[in-house]
Amino acid sequence: CELRSGDLVRIGDVICKYLCGRNVEAAYHEEIYRMTISDGLTTVANVRALNEFLDREVARSRRYGRGLALLMLDIDHFKAVNDELGHLSGDYVLRELAQLCNRRVRREELFARYGGEEFVLVLPETTLEGAVTYAEALRQLVENHEFAFEDNRISVTISIGVATFQADMMSPTDLIRAADERLYEAKRSGRNRVAA
Q: Active-site residue numbers?
A: 117
CB within 8 Å of 169: residues ≥ 6 apart: 58, 175, 178
Q: Are 126 and 106 in contact (CB under 8 A)?
A: no
How many angstroms separate the CA atoms of 169 and 47, rounded?
A: 20
The Cα-based distances of 141 to 131, 138, 176 in angstroms read: 15, 5, 23
SS3 at position 3: coil
Pair 120, 172: CB distance under 8 Å: no
